[in-house]
Structure 1
Amino acid sequence: MTSLRLGYLYGLGAYLLWGFFPLYLKLLRPAGPLEILAHRIVWSVVFVALLLAALRNVGFLRALLRRPWAVAGIVAAAALIAVNWGTYIYGVNSDRVVETALGYFINPLVVVLLGVTVLRERLRATQWVALGIGASAVVVLTVDYGRLPWLALTLAFSFAGYGLVKKRLGLPAAEGLFVESAVLALPALGYLAWLTSRAESTFGHVSAGHTALLVLAGAATATPLLLFAGATNRLPLSSLGMIQYLAPILQLGCGVLIFHEPMPPARLAGFALVWLALVVFTADAVRNARQSRRPQTPKQPAPIA
């Protein structure tokens, strides 16, 4: 199997798992969002630690501790991913899967916005058009919901910010996830101990299957991230950008078709504007990628007078 084909398999695997993740989270009821988040953090540390031990790759920690700015960046990344995970779990378990899907639809547009505001990047005219259409979609959805779609915006901005920090750090997927989860593990364990002391923990008190699902939350978190890392190492960014929409499409399908969440005409119109913005954005990205790969015609030397 070629490296490119393997990259597509890794990418599809990652986005399929993320797309159907709401189905998994629903199975974790009656655990509350914070309890699920805490278990997700703790068992992620355990799962990735076992993986790194099997690969005999633990020496990176010593090198990392000699880079204080990298440690500070990891703390920031950990805080952002905790906000993202917690918001997503809350959205799914409060029957707002459609709004969580919206967050990941607008995430590419927020990434572009952060590029302008944080990295001082210059946008092409078509990218400005896509951002304008996306902003119009938020206005339409605000009118439809009767409030700002804060859950979707929190997901989009937290994940975009997380991606920005991760890009600066440059850590491999497994090592990065381990350190980020380890930063969050102590408060997560403290919260689980507090729940247990108040006899409010569901762990071990609902059923053996429920307990097993909470433990498997670590593997369910780490596996798509590792697949995604494998895809990014093998695929062009334009190809990866195209298949990233698979996850929110599947999440939207789960919300509307499986959980029967409402999709009134005004909300559908807002989503349609988001999709139009993404079409404009993706078409511009593909065209720019093709132009950058096109060999440049060498300039002819000027004639000697």
Structure 2
Amino acid sequence: MRINKYYLAAITAFAMWGFFSLALKPIHHYPSLDILFYRVFLSVMLISAINLFIRKNVVLNDWKNFQSKPKSERGKMLRINIGGGLLLTANWFIFIYVMNHISVKAASFAYLVCPILTTVLAFFILKEKLSKWQWMAVGISVTGCVLLSFNSFADIFYSLIVALTYALYLVFQRKNTEVDKFVGLNIQLLTSGILLLPFFPSFSGPVPAEGLFYICLIFIVVMFTIIPLFLNLFALKGVNSSSVGIMLYINPIINFLLAVFYYREEVTEIQMISYSLILISIIVFNEKLIFNRKLKELPVSE
């Protein structure tokens, strides 16, 4: 089995996100909106500082490239990056709310539905082709999700919104090939920050005084925001959206294992069967990679 750097980036990103609850649960008593405010604002400050002081030449090159494009191309570049920021903002807020106020398993379920939505959206929007094995994997994962929905029907509404926002983000970022990935991420986070800033004075709570909040926030910003998002965008340079989407299953599987063995949430036999089917679907979807069959390489955008 040979995993190229793009697959490795996607696997690493989703594995990191699988442990998100370890940084989020200790501050669950803070309002979801407050956590989102501080997560976005600190992320914007950190990534902007890196781009302005360490990667200034890259930013200038991207700006010159942007100015050289026709008006229609500039509009497309802005829509993809600003739209990405809007989708991330919606995804993060709803995910934090579900994780802290519904259950870890409900949040996991959202990212079980997401790969299916990503694969279907990529098929219709990006015209990405899937093999018979990959369609079979989608069918297996659908079966697993349907079984889970019997026990979590009340949570499906939240889960579908979380899933749809991130699925759309993945699909449209596949088209984001004109901007450096770290600069693009900066634009998206800045968009999110500008969107949230007017609401901060009215909807934020008292400034947190607990040291634990800021320790967890630093982990959330660095380990569960900037690094995995960058890896995710990097992976989309060499792996199609449906393949990256199906690897999202790594996230909820880790979430589920934490919910069962660490948070001691109750688990049923149906849930065990469902997650087993989902694990099988990952193997089936990536059978060419796993069993060293010849892969059709995607053109890599630099």
Q: TM-score scaled by structure 1?
A: 0.77
CA contact (8 A) 2:18 2:255 kept: yes
- 2:29 pairs with 1:30: yes
- 2:166 pairs with 1:159: yes
**Which residue in 2 is equivalent to 1:282?**
286
CA distance in 2 between partners of 1:39 and 1:234 (Å): 32
CA contact (8 A) 1:13 1:224 kept: yes
Amino acid at match of 1:22: S
After superposition, what is the alpha-carbon deviation per residue over 1:141-180, rounded to whole angstroms, capped at 9, x for unaligned? 2222244623333333322211111111223332111101
Cα gap change, 1:39/1:277 in structure 2, threshold over 3 Å: closer, same or farther?
Answer: same
After superposition, what is the alpha-carbon deviation per residue over 1:243-299, rounded to whole angstroms, capped at 9, x for unaligned? 765433322222111112221122333333333333322225656961547xxxxxx
CA contact (8 A) 2:112 2:249 kept: yes
SS of residue matched to 2:150? helix
SS of residue matched to 1:137? helix
CA distance in 1 between partners of 2:235 and 2:129 (Å): 28
- Once superposed, what is the RMSD of the aligned Cα atoms? 3.5
Amino acid at match of 2:59: V
CA distance in 2 between partners of 1:267 and 1:251 (Å): 13
Cα gap change, 1:139/1:217 in structure 2, threshold over 3 Å: closer, same or farther?
Answer: closer
After superposing the two structures, state which structure 1 stretch, 95-104 or 77-86, moved more: 95-104
- 2:270 pairs with 1:261: no
**Which residue in 1 is equivalent to 2:194?**
186
CA distance in 2 between partners of 1:9 and 1:129 (Å): 23
Cα gap change, 1:209/1:137 in structure 2, threshold over 3 Å: closer, same or farther?
Answer: closer
| Equivalences, count | 285
Cα gap change, 1:27/1:63 in structure 2, threshold over 3 Å: closer, same or farther?
Answer: farther
Cα gap change, 1:279/1:255 in structure 2, threshold over 3 Å: closer, same or farther?
Answer: same
| Deviation, structure 1 residue 137 | 2.7
Find 1:272's aligned residue among 264, 276, 281.
276
Amino acid at match of 2:196: A
After superposition, what is the alpha-carbon deviation per residue over 1:34-89, rounded to whole angstroms, capped at 9, x for unaligned? 22112221111101001102222432346447611211222221121112212221
CA contact (8 A) 1:39 1:188 kept: no
- 2:195 pairs with 1:195: no
SS of residue matched to 2:279? helix
| Match runs of 1:211-250 below 5 Å | 211-214=214-217, 217-220=220-223, 221-228=225-232, 245-250=249-254
CA distance in 2 between partners of 1:232 and 1:118 (Å): 15
Amino acid at match of 2:37: A
CA contact (8 A) 1:22 1:251 kept: yes
| Deviation, structure 1 residue 231 | 6.4
- 2:59 pairs with 1:55: no
Cα gap change, 1:88/1:258 in structure 2, threshold over 3 Å: closer, same or farther?
Answer: same
Amino acid at match of 1:74: N
CA contact (8 A) 2:140 2:277 kept: yes
CA contact (8 A) 1:46 1:218 kept: no
After superposing the two structures, state which structure 1 stretch, 181-190 or 280-289, moved more: 280-289
Which of structures 1 and 2 has the bigger CA Rg?
1
| Match runs of 1:12-91 below 5 Å | 14-53=13-52, 54-56=54-56, 57-59=58-60, 60-61=62-63, 63-64=65-66, 67-91=74-98
**Which residue in 2 is equivalent to 1:301?**
none
**Which residue in 1 is equivalent to 2:183?**
175
SS of residue matched to 1:262? coil
Cα gap change, 1:156/1:287 in structure 2, threshold over 3 Å: closer, same or farther?
Answer: farther
* Identical positions, percent: 22
Q: TM-score scaled by structure 2?
A: 0.78
**Which residue in 1 is equivalent to 2:300?**
none
Cα gap change, 1:45/1:61 in structure 2, threshold over 3 Å: closer, same or farther?
Answer: farther
Amino acid at match of 1:169: N
Find 1:125's aligned residue among 116, 120, 132.
132
- 2:211 pairs with 1:208: yes
Cα gap change, 1:151/1:261 in structure 2, threshold over 3 Å: closer, same or farther?
Answer: farther
